[in-house]
C-alpha cells in the first residue's frame, strides 16, 4: 500500500522555520516507527504571491484536495499589507478552508504542567486542563446573507449580518464533536444563545437530535454561550468537548486558548467530510501567525506546529498512540526546563533556539522508545 500523503505548506515569516522542525519529526516517525509519509511541499500566502502572483495557485489547491492531510505553517507579513484584498496572504488560507469545506475546527486547550504559571488564572484552576473546542467554521453570521452596510433612509446607515444555520450544517459539526468525545471523556457541552436567538433554538434542538438518535452513549449538556464564557474562566476543567457556532466559537476558543499561556504552544485542526478512503479532509496548523517581529532570528517556538502534526497523527492517520508519544515528548522537554524565548519568565536561564527545541523533542522521542 502507498504511504499516506502529506502536503506541507510552510507559508511566510516563522512558518518555514517551525515547519523545518516538524519535517524532522515526520522523518523520525518514518525511520523509528515505520510510519512513512509521502511528503510534498508547496507555497501558500505571501510566498505563493511572490512566485505566482496569487496567494494559492490552482495547482496547489488541487494538490491539497488530493492529499490525505495538509500541514500549514503561517501566512502573512508587512510586505503584503498594501495588496488588494483578493491577493492578501490570508486569502490563500481562506480558499483552502472553503474549497475543502472544512466545517469543523478543533482547538484544544491543554495546560502543560510545566507552563501552568503562564496562565493568567490560578495554577490549580488550569493545571491538568485538557479540553477541546469544536467551532463550526463555514457558516453562521460570518457568511449569512443578507449582509452589508446601507443607508437607512433616515440620514444614517445600517450594518447588517445574518446568523443562519441549517439542519445539515448543525448536525455535521455536532457529529464531529460526539465522535471526538468518544475518543476522550465522552462528554459534550453545546453552547448557543437559545434564550434570545431562533438560530440558537434550532442549534440546541438539532444537537439534541443527533445525540438522541446517534450518540446516546455520550453525555450531552447545553449552556448559553455567555455563561459558557464565565464557566471557562471560573472552572474550565468541568468541560471535555465544547461544540459551538462560528461566532461564539471564535471568541470562546481564543478565551480557552489563553487559559494555557503561550501562543507558541497552540495547535489546531480543521476537518471536513470523509474522503473515499475514509479519512476526513483535513488541514492542521498552529494557531499563531507568521510573527514578523521574530521571523528569521531562530527564536520561534516550533511546539504549536509540532503539536499540529500530532493532531494529524490522531485524527487523519488513526495513530493515537504515536500522537500521545509526540505530545509526551513535548511535555518532557518542557518539564526539563527547555524554553524558547516566548516561554521564558524572569529568572529563567537562557532561551533555546527553534532548532535546539527541535533537537530536544527528537531526543525525547528517542527516549520514549
Ligand atoms: P502572530 O501570531 O504572528 O504574533 C503575535 C505575537 O506572538 C508576536 O509577538 C509573535 O512574535 C509571537 N509569536 C507568535 N507565534 C510564536 C511562536 N511560534 N514562537 C514565539 N513567539 C510567537 O500574530 P500577529 O502579529 O497579529 O500577525 C502577524 C501576521 O500573521 C499578520 O500578517 C497576520 O495577518 C498573520 N496571521 C496569520 C495567521 C495564520 O496564518 N493562521 C494567524 C494569525 C495571524
Helices (H), the chain: 15-33, 46-52, 58-66, 89-99, 123-126, 167-183, 198-214, 225-234, 246-258, 303-315, 320-335, 354-367
For residue 174, name the pLDDT band (cuts at 50, 70, 90): very high
For ligand 1, atom 11, the nearest C-alpha belongs to 291
Rounded average pLDDT over 341-348: 80
Rounded average pLDDT over 175-191: 96
Spacing, Cα 149 to ligand 1 middle (Å): 30
CA dihedral sign of residues 35, 38, 39, 44:
negative
23-68 tens-digit pLDDT:
999 999 999 999 999 999 999 999 999 999 999 999 999 999 999 9
**Grid coordinates 453525555 are at which residue?**
219
193 is catalytic: yes
Spacing, Cα 77 to ligand 1 middle (Å): 9
For ligand 1, atom 23, the nearest C-alpha belongs to 289
Spacing, Cα 296 to ligand 1 middle (Å): 13
For residue 164, give the nearest of 149, 143, 137 by alpha carbon.
143
For residue 64, give the nearest of 12, 25, 8 by alpha carbon.
8
Better-predicted residue by pLDDT, 69 or 120: 69
Gap between the terminal Cα atoms of the chain: 26
* Average pLDDT score over the chain: 95
227-254 tens-digit pLDDT:
999 999 999 999 999 999 999 999 999 8
226 is catalytic: yes
Q: What is the pTM of this model?
A: 0.94
Q: Which of 226, 318, 321, 366 is catalytic?
A: 226
Cβ atoms of residues 297 and 13 within 8 Å: no
Q: Which triple of cell numbers denotes residue 240?
A: 471535555
Ligand 1 surroundings by CB, under 6 angstroms? 14, 18, 74-77, 90, 93, 263-264, 285, 288-294, 300-301, 304, 342
Counting ligand 1 atoms within 8 A of each CB, the residue from 91, 94, 290, 355 with the most, and so the one to mutate, is 290
Atom of ligand 1 nearest to the CA of 78: 32
Distance in angstroms (rounded) separating the CA atoms of residues 62 and 320: 28
Amino acid at each position: 500500500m502507498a504511504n499516506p500523503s502529506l502536503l506541507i505548506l510552510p507559508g511566510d515569516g516563522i512558518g518555514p522555520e517551525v515547519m523545518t522542525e516538524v519535517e524532522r519529526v515526520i522523518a523520525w516517525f518514518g525511520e523509528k516507527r515505520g510510519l512513512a509519509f509521502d511528503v510534498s511541499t508547496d507555497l501558500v500566502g505571501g510566498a505563493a504571491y511572490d512566485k505566482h502572483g496569487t496567494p494559492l495557485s490552482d495547482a496547489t489547491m488541487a494538490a491539497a484536495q488530493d492529499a490525505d492531510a495538509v500541514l500549514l505553517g503561517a501566512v502573512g507579513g508587512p510586505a503584503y499589507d498594501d495588496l488588494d484584498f483578493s491577493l492578501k496572504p490570508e486569502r490563500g488560507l481562506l480558499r483552502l478552508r472553503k474549497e475543502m469545506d472544512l466545517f469543523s475546527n478543533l482547538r484544544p486547550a491543554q495546560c502543560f504542567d510545566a507552563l501552568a504559571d503562564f496562565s493568567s488564572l490560578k495554577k490549580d484552576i488550569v493545571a491538568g486542563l485538557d479540553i477541546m473546542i469544536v467551532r463550526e467554521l463555514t457558516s453562521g453570521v460570518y457568511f449569512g446573507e443578507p449582509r452589508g452596510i446601507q443607508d437607512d433612509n433616515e440620514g444614517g446607515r445600517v450594518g447588517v449580518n445574518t446568523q443562519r444555520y441549517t439542519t445539515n450544517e448543525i448536525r455535521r459539526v455536532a457529529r464531529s464533536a460526539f465522535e471526538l468525545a468518544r475518543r476522550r471523556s465522552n462528554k459534550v457541552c453545546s453552547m448557543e444563545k437559545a434564550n434570545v436567538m431562533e438560530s440558537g433554538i434550532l442549534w440546541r434542538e438539532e444537537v439534541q437530535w443527533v445525540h438522541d438518535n446517534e450518540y446516546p452513549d455520550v453525555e450531552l449538556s447545553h449552556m448559553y454561550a455567555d455563561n459558557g464564557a464565565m464557566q471557562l474562566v471560573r472552572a474550565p476543567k468541568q468541560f471535555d468537548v465544547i461544540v459551538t457556532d462560528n461566532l461564539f466559537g471564535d471568541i470562546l476558543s481564543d478565551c480557552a486558548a489563553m487559559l494555557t499561556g503561550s501562543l507558541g504552544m497552540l495547535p489546531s485542526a480543521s476537518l471536513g467530510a470523509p474522503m473515499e478512503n475514509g479519512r476526513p479532509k483535513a488541514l492542521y496548523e498552529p494557531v499563531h501567525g507568521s510573527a514578523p517581529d521574530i521571523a528569521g532570528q531562530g527564536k520561534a517556538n516550533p511546539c504549536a506546529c509540532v503539536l499540529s502534526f500530532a493532531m494529524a497523527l490522531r485524527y487523519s492517520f488513526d495513530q493515537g498512540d504515536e500522537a500521545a508519544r509526540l505530545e509526551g515528548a513535548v511535555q518532557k522537554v518542557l518539564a526539563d526546563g527547555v524554553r524558547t524565548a516566548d516561554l521564558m519568565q524572569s529568572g529563567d536561564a537562557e532561551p533555546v533556539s527553534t532548532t535546539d527545541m527541535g533537537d530536544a523533542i527528537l531526543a525525547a522521542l528517542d527516549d520514549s522508545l
